[in-house]
């Protein structure tokens, strides 16, 4: 029986491994974890700049030794699989199964449950990862994100040279603020979410937008007459390759823009996990306008 005057042992803060921490979403996840007092560890292929409160490890998710080291004393993992194939993830999943941390896996709303074949390579790899994790008995919390608002940062170079955004014209989706996705992920990672459902959460914005809609909304935030110019798939492919994107990624993105069906799917799952509704793309554009008008 504990001594009546002895204080109970304080609970240690969660120790979370964040993969994809150098990306737009990953940085937002790390920021929020640190703000909430979590112990944060990251694993990246390349050395990253030191950051207070973050233990940054250099290594590849396909390297079992690097993954094993990263998982020491970690109780929760934010998993974002970066490759366009599933087979190399088997070693990673084996390491996760050996240490059994809680897993929050970021997937995509493009995944269609029960489909004989997913619409495009991006959806297929995410569906494959979900199946691999479940097959290993890991019971991940799956967060399927819609198109991230931060993807529009890919237009910055074009908009510094003019008022036209040109590129492929994918189907309309409920574009979601990556900050909302990060808030939802952190709520789950730190167990501040109440009772979780077994089915995947679909994290969407509040309205369905096409590429031209996004460009117009961004133009209003910038007070500029922006317009969108749709490019044929092959011309878009050539331009993306000229911008330095790797060929497998270009092929996957072009295929997704051509084959992925339009989605009018809007949910309240951001609000369920964070306690507040998802923000609009207009809010995102106003908050990030300076990035597009900078020198």
Query: In this predicted model, what pLDDT tens digit does every residue of 33-76 receive, in sequence order?
Result: 999 999 999 999 888 777 899 999 999 999 999 999 999 999 99
Torsion of CA 179, 185, 187, 189, to 10 degrees: -140
User: By the 8 A CB rule, do 71 and 95 touch?
Assistant: yes
Closest CA to 288 of 2, 5, 28, 9: 28
Does 2 have pLDDT greater than 60? no
- For 37, which DSSP code? T
Q: What is the pLDDT of residues 135-160, one digit of tens each?
A: 999 999 999 999 999 999 999 999 99
Q: What is the pLDDT of residues 171-224, one digit of tens each?
A: 999 999 999 999 999 999 998 666 787 899 999 999 999 999 999 999 999 999
User: By the 8 A CB rule, do 189 and 179 touch?
Assistant: no
- Nearest-angstrom CA–CA distance, 246 and 259: 20
pTM score over 0.85: yes
Q: What angle do CA 262, 267, 269 make, to 5 degrees?
A: 135
Does 4 have pLDDT greater than 70? no
User: By the 8 A CB rule, do 45 and 60 touch?
Assistant: yes
Q: Where are the alpha helices (DSSP H) in 36-73?
A: 64-71
- Nearest-angstrom CA–CA distance, 74 and 7: 26
Tell me phi and psi for residue 88, to 5 degrees.
-65, -10
Give all strands (DSSP E) within the chain, no chain letters.
Answer: 15-19, 39-44, 54-58, 76-79, 102-108, 141-145, 164-167, 201-203, 227-230
- Nearest-angstrom CA–CA distance, 268 and 40: 28
Q: What is the pLDDT of residues 218-275, one digit of tens each?
A: 999 999 999 999 999 899 888 888 878 888 888 888 888 888 888 889 999 999 999 9
Does 7 have pLDDT greater than 60? no
User: By the 8 A CB rule, do 134 and 96 touch?
Assistant: no
- Nearest-angstrom CA–CA distance, 50 and 77: 20
C-alpha distances in angstroms, 13 versus 67, 74, 183, 253? 21, 11, 18, 39
User: By the 8 A CB rule, do 149 and 286 touch?
Assistant: no
Q: Where are the domains of the chain?
A: 15-146+177-203+266-278
Pairing of strands 102-108, 39-44: unpaired
| CB atoms near residue 31 (< 10 Å) | 15
Long-range CB contact pairs, 52-61, < 8 A, 24+? 54/21, 54/30, 56/21, 61/19, 61/89, 61/92
DSSP secondary structure string for all residues of 223-256? TS--EEEE--HHHHHHHHHHTT--HHHHHHHHHH
Tell me, which fold does domain 15-146+177-203+266-278 have in CATH? Rossmann fold (3.40.50)
Does 288 have pLDDT greater than 80? yes
Residue 293: pLDDT band with limits 50, 70, 90: confident
Q: Please give the pLDDT value at position 217.
A: 98
């Amino acid at each position: 029986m504990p001594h009546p005057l002895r204080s109970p042992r304080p609970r240690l803060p969660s120790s979370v491994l964040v993969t994809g921490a150098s990306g737009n979403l990953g940085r937002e996840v790390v920021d929020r974890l640190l703000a909430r007092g979590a112990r944060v560890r990251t694993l990246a292929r390349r050395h990253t700049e030191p950051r207070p409160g973050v233990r940054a490890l250099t290594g590849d998710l396909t390297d079992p030794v690097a993954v094993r080291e990263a998982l020491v004393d970690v109780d929760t993992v934010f998993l974002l699989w970066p490759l366009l194939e599933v087979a190399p993830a088997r070693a990673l999943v084996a390491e996760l199964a050996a240490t059994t941390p809680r897993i929050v896996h970021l997937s995509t709303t493009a995944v269609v449950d029960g489909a004989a074949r997913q619409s495009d390579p991006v959806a297929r790899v995410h569906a494959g990862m979900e199946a691999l994790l479940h097959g290993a008995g890991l019971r991940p919390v799956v967060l399927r994100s819609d198109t991230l608002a931060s993807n529009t940062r890919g237009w910055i170079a074009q908009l510094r040279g003019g008022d036209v955004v040109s590129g492929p014209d994918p189907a309309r989706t409920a574009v979601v603020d990556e900050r909302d996705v990060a808030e939802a992920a952190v709520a789950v990672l730190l167990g501040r979410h109440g009772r979780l459902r077994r089915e995947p959460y679909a994290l969407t914005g509040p309205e369905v937008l096409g590429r031209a809609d996004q460009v117009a909304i961004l133009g209003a935030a910038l007070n500029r007459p922006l317009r969108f110019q749709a490019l044929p798939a092959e011309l878009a492919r050539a331009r993306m390759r000229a911008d330095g994107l790797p060929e497998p990624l270009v092929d996957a993105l072009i295929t997704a823009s051509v084959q992925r069906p339009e989605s009018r799917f809007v949910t309240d799952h951001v609000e369920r996990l964070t306690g507040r509704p998802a923000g609009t793309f207009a809010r995102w554009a106003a908050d990030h306008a300076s990035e597009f008008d900078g020198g």
